[in-house]
Structure 1
Amino acid sequence: MREFSRTDRVAEQLAHELALLIQREVKDPRLGMVTVGSARVSRDLSYADVYITLMGENSDERVRDNLAVLEGAAGFLRHRLGQQLKLRHVPQLRFHYDDSVERGHALSSLIDEAVADGRRRRDEDEDAADPDRDSHGER
């Protein structure tokens, strides 16, 4: 079993605290429903890459606007993290949009389409091979 390094523990705690802070304390009306998916902290704790997802429609413009709001609030969030976490140095925050959820949904849809197409083709092949079957596969 792998031991978690200090940076892993800091990243996990940072992501958890940031999720709460963004939800409760960032009062910008341009900010949508943001979910903090994960954070990666540099070995020297100088910066943290924070990966977010958005609920709802995610146009490029909406993603840019939400990232801009978070970048603008980064100083405030970093200050609040300093009050919450027991760290000598709170990492600089860099926000990134995580599109893996969208890509996962797209891949799932493609798989569903392929499975449905395979079933349809199998049924057509079975119907062509046995002309005595009706459209429901019964004789």
Structure 2
Amino acid sequence: MSQEFSRTDRVSQEIFRVLSNLLRREIKDPRLQTLTLTECQVSKDLGIAKVYFSVLGAKEGDQAVMDAEQALKKATGFMRSELAQALRLRVTPQLRFYYDTVPDRVDHIEALIRKALY
């Protein structure tokens, strides 16, 4: 039984793959060395791509996260042009980067559970 995916899901996965490769192979900014993309969500009209990232060993508000956000903002034009060449869509989505707070919340909840058990 085959599982069907919507077009937005397929485009999201492809954007995630292309951006991950760009960050790993093309972009040499040292502020992005410990950055990992965690998720990509595309709007239904394919006009906006929300890309979530985390920074190894950093929490929300840390200087490393702010530096990574600045580096991503600076590289957005390059990434979007590369994305346009790779995807060949009628409209290339605008890239918006957000720090992924899920790992921080998981750490906090785990700490609360440990505290409650001991």
TM-score (norm 2): 0.87
Q: Is the 8 A contact 1:32 1:55 kept in 2?
A: no
Higher-Rg member (1/2): 1
SS of alignment partner, residue 39 of structure 2: strand
Greater CA deviation, 56-65 or 87-96?
Answer: 56-65
Aligned residues: 116
Is the 2:55–2:64 contact (alpha carbons within 8 Å) kept by the matching residues of 1? no
**1: CA distance between counterparts of 2:110 and 2:19?**
30
Higher relative CO (CA 8 A, sep ≥ 6), structure 1 or 2? 2
C-alpha deviations, 1:68-117, integer Å up to 9, x for none?
A: 110110110111112222322211100000010111012112112212x2
Are the counterparts in 1 of residues 46 and 91 from structure 2 also a CA contact under 8 Å?
A: yes
Structure 2 residues not aligned, in runs of 5+: none
Q: Could you state the TM-score of these two structures normalised by the residue count of structure 1? A: 0.75
Q: List, as ranges, runs of 4+ consecutive aligned residues in structure 1 with deviation greater than 3 Å.
A: none
SS at match of 1:95: strand
Q: CA RMSD in A?
A: 1.8
Report the residue type matching 2:14 in the other structure: Q
The 3-state SS of whatever aligns with 2:92 is coil
Secondary structure, aligned partner of 1:105: helix
**What is residue 71 of structure 1 aligned with on the other side?**
73
Question: Could you give the per-residue CA deviations for residues 20-65 of structure 1, whole angstroms, max 9, x where no partner exists?
Answer: 1112111112224111111111111111110001111335232121
Tell me what 2:113 maps to: 111
Structure 1 unaligned runs (5+)?
118-139
Distance 1:19 1:102 in 2: 22
1:2 deviates by: 6.8
- The answer to whether 1:55 aligns with 2:59 is no
Question: Counterparts of 1:57 and 1:37 in 2: how far apart (Å)?
Answer: 14
